[in-house]
Amino acid sequence: MNMHRRVPTLVALVLASVSAAPLLAQGTSVLPIADVKTRSAVQREIARAESKGLPTQPLVAKAMEGVTKQATGEQIRDAVSSLAKRLEQARALLAPSPSAAEVASGADALRAGVPAPMVKKIRAAWPADQSVVMPLDVMTELVARGIPASRALERLTSLMAKGATPSQIAALGSSVQSDVAAGLAPDAALEVRARGVMSLLNSPAAGASLAPTGQRPPR
């Protein structure tokens, strides 16, 4: 049983978050882990993360996931410990002051195989005053679908540089996911959808919508 495998459905993620929420409110002493050694190790990991200012909900959710999947104590301990390391790494990459949600998304990206420097590049390419959760999640999804991280990063950052909106980036990820589910190769799906977004950004109509009132875009 692979405890490190990414949860494949939104429903599973929601259920994990819902089940973890009461535990966070009550304290980690109520973690339903029968093995005392494992429960103590998880509690120490969560306490260590909290002392460093890291989000702890993902760690509780990961432990709960292990319990639900009837993972061994060693698998649960390893999964929680690995996640704690990724959370700390993600926070450093997304500095100076990422939110808990951004740190969690960064950790997910690292687990999916997005290289650390690319996580940092996504943050640099995205407006500093906007949450980077969505573009990180799109990058994670593309890489999880089998698209090389370098290619996914190139397409996303090119669209960002051209002024793609958050809704367009989010739609790109959803469209690629739908195309792959319908049988299209991941690389091909990304190319088709990225060209579609780029064509909108390069169109005269798009330029006109971005120009100040009373001015026409340059020809």
Would you say residue 215 has pLDDT above 50? no
Is the same domain home to 68 and 17? yes
Would you say residue 190 has pLDDT above 60? yes
Is the same domain home to 79 and 14? yes
Phi, psi of 169 (to 5 degrees): -65, -45
Collapsing DSSP to helix, strand or coil, 99 comes out as coil
Least confident interval from 43-57, 125-139, 199-213: 199-213
Is the same domain home to 16 and 86? yes
Q: Quick one: tokens of 77?
A: 């301990």
Phi, psi of 5 (to 5 degrees): -65, 135
CA 184 to chain CA centroid, Å, is 23
pLDDT grade for 202, boundaries at 50, 70 and 90: confident
Q: What is the identity of the amino acid at 127?
A: P
Is the same domain home to 138 and 77? no
Task: Tell me whether residue 215 is in a domain.
Answer: no
Collapsing DSSP to helix, strand or coil, 113 comes out as coil
For the chain, the average pLDDT equals 85
Query: Rounded mean pLDDT of 175-180?
Result: 95
- Domain termination site, one of 59, 93, 127: 93
pLDDT grade for 204, boundaries at 50, 70 and 90: low
Task: Tell me whether residue 105 is in a domain.
Answer: no
Task: Tell me whether residue 111 is in a domain.
Answer: no
| Domain region containing 152 | 117-209
Distance of alpha carbon 219 from alpha carbon 215, whole angstroms: 12
Distance of alpha carbon 33 from alpha carbon 108, whole angstroms: 24
According to the model, what pLDDT value does residue 203 have? 63
According to the model, what pLDDT value does residue 34 have? 87
Query: Rounded mean pLDDT of 198-212?
Result: 60
